Structure 1
Amino acid sequence: MGLGKLLHRHEEHADAGGTIDRPRTYEALGSIAFLGGRRAAFTRVAAAARPRAGDRVLDVGCGTGYLSRILSPVVTPSGHVTGLDPSPAMVEYATRHAPANCTYVVGEGQRLPFPDASFDLVVSSLAVHHMPAGARPEALRQMCRVLRPGGRLLIAEFRPPANPLARHLVGALSGPAMRHDPRDLLGTLIPDAGFQVESEGDLPYLLYYVRATRP
């Protein structure tokens, strides 16, 4: 059984979407999947987002709040990190482990329950591939809407290994999460939503990022 089957309520097809509802299992498998480098991997993602002291940050698809907790001390007590995830179980877990300047809410990326221009920075790590394909364009438009003008966006996704055998083995374990090329997954979603792409590229631990701003 692949990890995707073990963790997801439904995700039979890579574009069908799904939620993860087993936070403790997710945390344990996350540590294994990154071969002890999970903290280093997400620290690199956080650094790529370029958070600043006092930032109001939204973490879309926050899961257990792992990235949020890394961002929390960087934005300092004067800033705030809001995590959003469609799974009540994940939000409950994140809330129980939340630093003082982090809060978590249940919701979907394509229906963000926040006013326009509410945030300085929106991040989304390993979450876009969980969204139904038809919902992804609206989710990116919503991320643009809730950012202030000049606000920043950071999307991070898995990238499959270049070696065909390694790609097959990782895909067999992870399910749909690692069967895509992130460039194909994201396509033109980010500029089409109104963002100006600043940079993109590979990160360690089989990650890929796109950094953009709202004009």
Structure 2
Amino acid sequence: MGLGKLLHNHAEHADEGGTIDHPRAYDIFASIGFMGARRAAFTRVAIAAKPRAGDRVLDVGCGTGYLTRILSPVVEPGGHVTGLDPSPAMIDYATRRNPGNCTYVRGEGQRLPFPDGSFDLVVSSLAVHHMPVGARPEALRQMFRVLRPGGRLLVAEFRPPANRLARHLVGVLSGPAMRHDPRDLLGTMIPDAGFRVESEGDLPYLLYYVRATRP
């Protein structure tokens, strides 16, 4: 059994979604998975998102709140970061590490519990592949809905290594969900939700991003 299966509470099929319910183990696994460069990897994700002072930010699939804590000082003064995750264990863990201008809410990406136009920036990192395949398009439409006109979106997903052996090791450790090519995983969902894609491409540490705006 892979470590991914031990960490996840999910259905047998990779496309059926699920939650991660062991936050401490997840943080340890993530640190190992990024070979000690987790902070550098998520700092690059934060830079790609282009946060600004005063931004209202939503992190969909925030997990332990790792990215929210990186974004927190960047949006000061006056900014606020909201993390959303379906796992009560993750929300509790993140809340106990709240840096002050962050709040954490239990919920699902396809049913965002926020009014229209609530945020200036929505980010989602390593989360779309955890959503049920049928819910992913609606999750992107929800992200569009809660952004103000002119608001920005940054989605980052895992980019499998080119080497076949390395890809196999990733599958053993994390399960089949992270074997997807991110271009296949995301497909046309972002423009189909109404976004205008501004840029996309590879980031260091086996990540891939799409940055878009709500017209």
Map of 2:39 onto structure 1 = 39
State how far apart, in whole Å, the 1-side matches of 2:71 and 2:96 are: 17
**Paired position in structure 2 for 1:125:** 125
- What amino acid is aligned across from residue 109 of structure 2 in structure 1? G
CA distance in 2, matches of 1:155, 1:176: 20
> Residue by residue, what CA displacement relative to the aligned partner does 1:42-76 show, whole Å, maximum 9, x if unpaired?
00000000000000000000000000000000001
Q: How many angstroms does 1:170 deviate by?
A: 1.3
Secondary structure of 1:19 counterpart: strand
- Given that residues 77 and 101 in structure 1 are in contact (C-alpha distance below 8 angstroms), is that contact kept between their aligned partners in structure 2? no
CA-to-aligned-CA distance 1:143-192 (integer Å, 9 cap, x gap): 00000000000000001001112111111111123210000000000000
Per the alignment, residue 48 of structure 2 pairs with 48
User: Residues 72 and 80 of structure 2 are in contact (CA less than 8 Å); yes or no, is this contact kept in structure 1?
Assistant: yes
Count of residue correspondences: 215
Secondary structure of the residue aligned to 2:172 is helix
Contact 2:129-2:178 within 8 A present in 1 as well: no
Match of 2:203 in 1: 203
For 2:35 and 2:62, how far apart are their aligned partners in 1?
21
Q: What pairs up with 1:1-215 in 2 under 5 angstroms? A: 1-215=1-215
Normalised by the size of structure 1, how large is the TM-score? 0.98
Q: Which stretch shows the higher mean deviation, 80-89 or 177-186? A: 177-186
TM-score, with structure 2 as normaliser: 0.98
Q: Which runs of 4+ in 1 moved over 2 A?
A: none
Structure 2 residue identity aligned to 1:29: F
Read off the aligned partner of 2:33 and give its amino acid letter.
A
Quote how far apart the aligned CAs of 1:77 are. Answer: 3.6
Shift, 1:213, TM fit? 0.2
Work out whether residues 54 and 75 of structure 1, in 8 Å CA contact, stay in contact via their aligned partners in 2. Answer: yes
- Distance across 2 between alignment mates of 1:11 and 1:62: 21
SS across alignment from 1:139: helix
Rate the CA distance shift 1:173–1:48 in 2: closer, same or farther, 3 A: same
Distance in 1 between residues matched to 2:100 and 2:7, nearest whole Å: 28
Unaligned runs of 5+ in 2: none
Contact 1:158/1:177 (<8 A) preserved: no
Contact 2:9 2:18 in 1 (8 A): yes
Could you list the per-position Cα deviations for residues 59-115 of structure 1 after superposition, in whole angstroms to 9, with x for gaps in the alignment?
A: 000000000000000001410000000000000000000111000000000000000
Segment of structure 1 superposing worse, 166-175 or 66-75: 166-175
| Shift of residue 12, structure 1, vs aligned partner | 1.8
Q: How big is the alpha-carbon RMSD for the aligned residues of Structure 1 and Structure 2?
A: 0.7
